[in-house]
Amino acid sequence: MTSAIPSEPALASETSDAAAAQARRPGPVDVALLASVFVVAACGLVYELSAAALSSYLLGDSILQFSTVIGTYLFAMGLGSWLSRFLDRQLPAHFLRIELLVACIGGLMPALLFLANAWVPGAFRLLLYGLVVVVGTLVGLEIPLVMRILRRHVQLKELVSQVLTFDYLGALAVSVAFPLLLVPHLGMIRTGLLFGWMNAAVAVWALWLFRHELRRFAAHAVACAAALLLLTLAFVGADRITSVAEDRFYQDRIVFSATSPYQRIVVTRGAAGHRLYLNGNLQFAERDEYRYHEALVHPVMAAHGAPKKVAVLGGGDGMAVREILKYPSVEQVTLVELDPNMTQLFGSHETLAALNGHSLGSPKLRIVNTDAFQWLQQDLDEVYDVIVVDFPDPTNFAIGKLYTNSFYALLDKRLSASGYAVVQTTSPLIARKSFWTVAATIESVGLRATPYHAHVPSFGEWGFIVASHRPWRMPEALPAGLRFLTPEALPLLFAFPPDMAKVPAPVNRLSNQVLVTTYEHEWGKP
């Protein structure tokens, strides 16, 4: 059996290291470096989250994007930690330079990605992962260098404990602040630049702390000043950067844009009037939105006859509510919209509120800003005559859960025995299997599924599905003044030509989310 007792030289070395560390208590330099670990950790996580969130916004499939970006970033950090072994001399100088590189590259990363998506979309993925690898490698170099600098004065066990504590505290602070404070109030670009500026401030701090050890002090000072100036100018001009990128991407003039904790909201104005985009996906065009919303709302409202209680899930733009309020029998409308920014925008913006007929200000309306899945689980005794489900298409798993059998089982419980629900269901022509997957999923919970479609020029051929406990009854009358639907034309919406006819389709479940991958494949999304 081999001995596990260290050799005498090794023991002597460890003893001398411990004695040296205990000979001096941590001084101002050590405390300052530990504080910088907090900032470094916070900045590193911001860059990681920014890259993952942007890729999710622009490429869809949030789980895939977050997984691949974070995995690549962690790999790059490991690479950086391994590379730190080759930095032997002038550790403070190396630390300062790395901080400046992280500040500039990491801080500017969201802006660069926005511009790349607009001007060179084909190179977006390459740039995304290239920047993630570079920033991750640089961040991976930081902590080992700090630990080696601090080891001169701090005992090893105290060093590891203190560095990792500050590292994790910095990560915790940012993980809470990023979605709740930073992105909603600053936006993605300014958030990146702010933390780049903080990285540069750490470099200035290091410049002062190690002023007696640094060679070429003046050159390092100029580099720090240049980095701070660059990041400050970019921060001031962030709105212009966003405008340049989005004007190129959307073509039409942008009249409103905001980033909420849930999505990127952009409203443009052009030849087709106003257009609403969520995460780059068109939601409506003023020129023909009436076709979509009349087809969505009136078949089920008219078929019921005299609905009193109506719920709208999604549809924070108020267009569906506008159509619902055309029925005098309606006493109460509950609008369940996750993003309060949407209901605030379309309730207070003069032009946009006019588009929905100021429906969001109706005394009959109750707005609930919460997740529709969670809302359905509450107050199961409260049922509705009509439920209008107007979610975005299932481009990611967060939205895809709202198209699962679990969701429709809850919907079933909130629908009255004589009631009708309607679900917007993508294009039965372009995404044929996706469309019939939703129909199969609705039927799997015991509801009847009655599909129909309408032509909306901005979208093409678009599909809807009625869900009900009773057989579908074609309405004989519709409200006066509709611009698209007529009682004579309505039955034609329920006839499907061969290229949109029913095909075998699976049930979309929370455990598999097959609809998301099918949808992306059929629409040819990356």
Distance CA 230, CA 36 (A): 21
Distance CA 41, CA 243 (A): 31
Phi, psi of 330 (to 5 degrees): -70, 125
281-285 vs 332-336, strand pairing mode = unpaired
Contact 296, 337 (CB under 8 A): no
Distance CA 367, CA 514 (A): 31
Which DSSP helix (H) or strand (E) runs through 417?
strand 415-424
**Residue 305: DSSP 8-state:** S
Query: Of the listed 379, 390, 393, 412, which one is catalytic?
Result: 390
Distance CA 219, CA 247 (A): 39
Distance CA 35, CA 166 (A): 7
* CA dist 478 → 34, 312, 411 (Å): 70, 20, 26
Contact 337, 260 (CB under 8 A): no
Distance CA 396, CA 416 (A): 30
3-state secondary structure of 253: strand
Distance CA 83, CA 92 (A): 16
Distance CA 248, CA 115 (A): 9
3-state secondary structure of 447: coil
Torsion angle (degrees, nearest 10) of CA 68, 73, 74, 78: 140
Burial class (CB in 10 A: 0-12, 13-18, 19+), 85: exposed
Query: Up-side HSE of residue 468: CA atoms within 13 Å toward CB?
Result: 19
The separation between CA 391 and the C-alpha centre of its own chain, rounded to angstroms, equals 15
> How many C-beta neighbours within 10 Å does residue 364 have?
14
Annotated catalytic residue 317 = no
Pair of tokens at residue 330: 């309606």
- Sequence length of the chain is 526
Q: Return the biggest CA–CA distance within the chain.
A: 98
415-424 vs 384-390, strand pairing mode = parallel
Which residue bears the tokens 């619902």?
Answer: 324
Amino acid in the structure at residue 365:
L
Active site residues: 390
